[in-house]
Structure 1
Amino acid sequence: MIALIGALILALCFYFFLLGRIALSLIGSGEAAAVAIGIGVLILPLLGVWMVWASVRAVLDHQRLARRIHEEELELDISDLPRRPSGRIERAAADALFARVGAEWEADPDNWRTSYRLARAYDYAGDRRRARETMRRAVALEKHEREATR
């Protein structure tokens, strides 16, 4: 899987390079319309590089937290929860899991571990937006903890 992600990133970098060359060629022509289009085309690879960098950084952060949670044996146990034929956890079971983990979080909201577990519970309950927000909070809290212990 890592090789596939690396290959996709390399392909994107090559694509961004080609877009950048086209943009610089358009800007270098000196014609007003071509310069305007060139500037617009130049923005695309810059946005692309930023999006790839932000995504890879987020994945690495989430993997670090997942590894630490696994090492501390604090993963959510969802093995016995009832599932739909699609493999997703049934809504009532996901909601019950969320209520339990939400109570843990309310007792200790400034702990990255409870925030991580809450983010996973949001994900299992199908609330992807809140799962991402809470995972960002968990990453920030864990980073603060690591920096405080240095």
Structure 2
Amino acid sequence: MNKKLVSLMAATLALLGVFALLAPATAQILTGTPVGVSLGVSLVVIGTVAAALIVNQIRFGLSADRLLKVLIEEGDDRGFPDLPRRPSGRVLPEDAKAYVEKCRSDVDSDSADWRLWFLLAGSFEIARDRHSAVLALRRANELISSRV
């Protein structure tokens, strides 16, 4: 099954779960008791925060897809490095680290190019450094947004 479809289905189910909190939250608030009202308000707040986080993650994923499409349309295939892998399919750690360093030096040489930041994000992802990947991808999004 398509990864986008699975992601969309998972997000939809999660949002439905958040909206399912509204009925018990409303029921608790309508009890009129201090405990019931505070419990109901807490459910609404938790549901709102969860929905905001889900929507934010969906938007972030869509922006990453958009950047990849632009990179491919430009004929740039650097986003798919051919690195040595283990039998499991994971890139060997020392090769992943070397690729991160190469991408980092590319960004250092031209920090205004969103493509290099996108590639750096991909290298961090290959090296399993999700936090740095997200930060680099955010920077790539900022740079391409300021370009338009």
TM over 0.5: yes
The total of aligned residue pairs comes to: 145
RMSD value, Cα:
1.6
Report the counterpart of residue 64 of structure 1 in structure 2: 66
- Cα separation, partners in 2 of 1:10 and 1:122, compared to 1, 3 Å: closer
Alpha-carbon deviation of 1:10? 2.9
Q: What CA distance in whole angstroms lies between the structure 2 residues aligned with 1:143 and 1:35?
A: 43
Please tell me the residue identity of whatever aligns with 2:96: A
- Residue aligned with 1:22, SS: helix
Q: What CA distance in whole angstroms lies between the structure 2 residues aligned with 1:124 and 1:130?
A: 11
Report the counterpart of residue 128 of structure 1 in structure 2: 130
- Please state if 1:32 is matched with 2:38: no
Could you tell me which runs of 5 or more consecutive residues in structure 2 were left unpaired when the two chains were aligned: none
Q: State the identity as a percent.
A: 25
| TM-score normalised to structure 1 length | 0.88
- Cα separation, partners in 2 of 1:13 and 1:77, compared to 1, 3 Å: closer
Report the counterpart of residue 104 of structure 1 in structure 2: 106
- Residue aligned with 2:21, SS: helix
Q: What CA distance in whole angstroms lies between the structure 1 residues aligned with 2:131 and 2:24?
A: 36
Q: What CA distance in whole angstroms lies between the structure 1 residues aligned with 2:7 and 2:103?
A: 32
| TM-score normalised to structure 2 length | 0.89
Q: Which 10-residue stretch deviates more, 97-106 or 9-18?
A: 9-18
Q: What CA distance in whole angstroms lies between the structure 2 residues aligned with 1:3 and 1:120?
A: 22
Could you tell me which runs of 5 or more consecutive residues in structure 1 were left unpaired when the two chains were aligned: none
Q: Is the 8 A contact 2:25 2:39 kept in 1?
A: yes
Alpha-carbon deviation of 1:77? 4.0
Please tell me the residue identity of whatever aligns with 1:128: R
Alpha-carbon deviation of 1:144? 1.1
Pairs within 5 Å for 1:79-118: 79=82, 81-118=83-120
